[in-house]
Amino acid sequence: MTDGCRPCVLIWAVFLLSSVMGYRPVIIVHGILDGPRQFEILAKFINQSHPGTDVTTLALYDYTASLKPLWQQVDGFREAIRPIMESAEDGVHLICFSQGGLICRGVLATLPTHNVHSLIFLSSPLAGQYGDSCYLKKIFPKFIKSRLYHICYTTWGQRISICNYWNDPHQRERYLKSSIYLAPLNGEIVHANSTAWRDSFLHIQTLVLIGGQDDGVITPWESSIFGFYDSNETVVEMEKQDWYLRDAFGLKTLNSEGAVVKCVVPGVHHTSWHSNLTVYKNCFY
């Protein structure tokens, strides 16, 4: 090889490398009472459509540990996600399932230097949860939803993940006073870091919201696309929510830039979102 050929070799090496390593790494954050095993099929879909993509499903706070307080989980997930981001020059894609969506929002809020390109919320209770579900019955077998605020809206209750996003539309005042997680994240209460969290949220390039009416767990299901009940339990869509109109955490700005994509799919139960090829092709791809 003559010296004159070195640049060509270099160009070829870069070309080959980028065609092999052309996809941004994907990080998956699991939901409540599950772990990485539930995401093997999704990882396979990604590998098939984008061969060679580095997919990491974080094995942290799995199964019953997923009931730990969300701010504590955020600390753990942030430290696991940080090195993956730092070695991904071109940014990463973040897929967050169910409760994991709320964890991802906490991570982004407290990681202002993040480089998340696409943030995908897969059936996540983004505006809160108010409904009986099989999960709720496992955790609070004796409680009905209308009474749960007695537990959730206390200092003790806020040490259980599910209470961190319990949003009882008949107990607004108590919710705003007690919620140390969802209310500040959604800008329903103003706090010292509101502006910093908003700036960090606005660093996302694309926000994908996936959900559907046959989910069976997220209640109301519209919470997965930022809708929620008013005090009459009538669902108010994202664009009419007070915190949206005030652009409290940047959602309105992102939406006005065309960066928010809603993907509503009927016929999918909560536990099937990450293994449904139709959903993958229509919403992720």
Ligand X SMILES: *[C@@H]1O[C@H](CO)[C@@H](O)[C@H](O)[C@H]1NC(C)=O
Tell me the catalytic residues.
98, 215, 270
| Residue 44 contacts ligand X per CB under 6 A | yes
DSSP result, 48-68:
HHSTT--EEE--SS-GGGGGS
Binding positions for ligand X, 131-190, rule CB under 6 A: none
Using CA atoms, how far residue 147 sits from 35, 143, 173, 223, in Å, is 30, 6, 15, 21
The residue number whose beta carbon is nearest to ligand X equals 267
Parallel/antiparallel/unpaired status of strands 235-236 and 228-229: antiparallel
Amino acid identity at 74? V
- Span from 13-21, 131-139, 161-169, 224-232 in contact with ligand X (CB under 6 A): 224-232
CA dist 102 and 163 (Å) reads 12
Who contacts 179 (Cβ-Cβ below 8 Å, separation ≥6)?
153, 158, 164, 165, 166, 167, 188, 189
Strand-by-strand arrangement of the 116-122 sheet: 55-57, 26-29, 92-97, 116-122, 206-211, 260-264
Among 97, 279, 280, 283, binds ligand X (CB under 6 A): 279
Q: How many residues bind ligand X (CB under 6 A)?
A: 17
237 to 266: interface string for ligand X, x by CB under 6 A? ----------------------------x-
Residue closer to ligand X by CB (options 191, 246) is 191
Amino acid identity at 132? D
- At 213, is the secondary structure helix, strand, or coil? coil
| Residue 231 contacts ligand X per CB under 6 A | yes
| Residue 1 contacts ligand X per CB under 6 A | no
CA dist 178 and 166 (Å) reads 10
| Residue 51 contacts ligand X per CB under 6 A | yes
Binding positions for ligand X, 73-112, rule CB under 6 A: 110
Instruction: Determine if the peptide bond prior to 220 is cis (ω within 30°).
Output: yes
Among 193, 205, 206, 253, binds ligand X (CB under 6 A): 193
| Residue 46 contacts ligand X per CB under 6 A | no
| Residue 272 contacts ligand X per CB under 6 A | yes
Tell me the closest approach of the beta carbon of residue 281 to ligand X, in angstroms. 9
State the residues that interact with ligand X by CB under 6 A. Answer: 44, 47, 51, 110, 191-193, 230-232, 265, 267-268, 272, 276, 278-279
